[in-house]
Amino acid sequence: MVKGFSENEVKKNTEIKESKKEKKGLAAFLKGKKFTYTLPGKQQINIFGSIVIGLNLILILLVILYLNNQEFHDFVFNVGR
């Protein structure tokens, strides 16, 4: 006997009856809908890439400013309270 399996047979009829229950809520609304995923275009990739790189550069500049400028360090420390 393989570990994790029992010798008793599973009744397939009970599983089929349970899976045919009427769906409610969002599942019922999405029942007939078909969704397809399309890959983003070149322009969309460039826009998101530019946003990510720009935000990373701003973060690096703020960290450098935080470490080197005492007034900015005090401002961040006091606002974060």
pLDDT of residue 6: 60
Spatial CA neighbour of 23 closest among 15, 32, 14: 32
pLDDT of residue 12: 56
pLDDT digits (tens, 9 = 90+) for 33-46: 777 778 889 999 99
Using a cut of 0.85, tell me whether the model's pTM lies above it.
no
How do the domains of the chain map onto residue ranges?
12-79
pLDDT tens, residue order, the chain (81 aa): 556 656 665 555 555 555 566 667 777 777 777 777 788 899 999 999 999 999 999 999 999 999 999 999 999 999 987
pLDDT of residue 80: 80
